[in-house]
Amino acid sequence: MTATTFRIGGDLEVRRLGFGAMHLATDPGPAREAALSVARRAVELGITLVDTAHMYGGGANEEILAEALHPYPEGLLITTKVGITRPSPSEEWKLDGRPDSLRDQVEQALRRLRVERIELLQLHRIDPETPLAEQLGALRDLRDEGKIGRIGLSEITAAELAEARKTVEIASVQNRYNLLDREHEPVLRACEAAGIAFLPWRPVAWGDSGANAEVLAVAAELEVTPTQVALAWLLARSPVVLPIPGTARIDHLEENVAAEDVRLTSAHLQVLDRSAGAE
């Protein structure tokens, strides 16, 4: 039977199927009120892992999660990401892994999320202009100060993961990965070998899985949606995989959560693996 929980960093237990908050609207109005309802419904449904980032609205996404969920229920993990900044609204977002900048972004996240410690803080992207050891060293210092609990990375290669682990313990990796896009299979294998949480972003290929004949066939047989098949496949793929599907609609949220109850047989998995050209 597929495990429904995972211990990030070996000790922080979460439900494997999480929620990506990126799509939540943050501007005033009905869409914002709907976003608050979606975030609250996610927790009502038992989700304990919520993903956000400094880049999502320049911190506005962190703020809306705090508005919706603070004071946070026990066991809820809100993980955020730093390392991409925009000096002003008129400028483009850019990679910024300078230690002072990372520290400032973490301090902002602490304030916006209304917490004293971020239990899982991920580097959104590696800044090629700053030595990796300096970027991770800054996060390690913040961890040692008690402002970060665990450190993760995003959109990296297996070689970069190995290099990062020379500087600091890595608790999670967040890379693009789904049934139809397995470019980062080597990274998943490295995470599995080391017991590192792997959080696939774009876990359902933005609906592309529904255009795949094999996925449609499995969904029809099980009387579920293609999205649920794609999420169930991820949960079956490896015990370290923690999908974080995002949505701004409660019906889609409930559909995603229900994917945890979808049981794929070995025959289903063989069909799906062949259809996507698995290694």
Look up the CATH number of the domain holding residue 180. 3.20.20.100
Pick from 44, 10, 29, 87: nearest CA to 250: 44
Is 269 inside a domain boundary? no
Tell me the per-residue pLDDT of 180-198, one tens digit each, with 9 for 90 and over: 999 999 999 999 999 999 9
Pick from 256, 245, 253, 156: nearest CA to 203: 245
Tell me the per-residue pLDDT of 250-272, one tens digit each, with 9 for 90 and over: 999 999 999 999 999 999 999 99
Is 169 inside a domain boundary? yes
Beta bridge partners of 178: 181
Is 215 inside a domain boundary? no
The mean predicted confidence, pLDDT, of the chain is 95
| Number of domains the chain contains | 1
- Which residues are catalytically annotated? 56
Is 60 inside a domain boundary? yes
Is 52 inside a domain boundary? yes
Q: What is the pTM of this model?
A: 0.95
193: containing domain:
5-205+239-245
| DSSP-derived secondary structure for 93-152 | -EE---HHHHHHHHHHHHHHHT-S-EEEEEESS--TTS-HHHHHHHHHHHHHTTSEEEEE
Return the structure tokens found at 184: 């980062």
Tell me the per-residue pLDDT of 74-102, one tens digit each, with 9 for 90 and over: 999 999 999 999 988 888 999 999 999 99
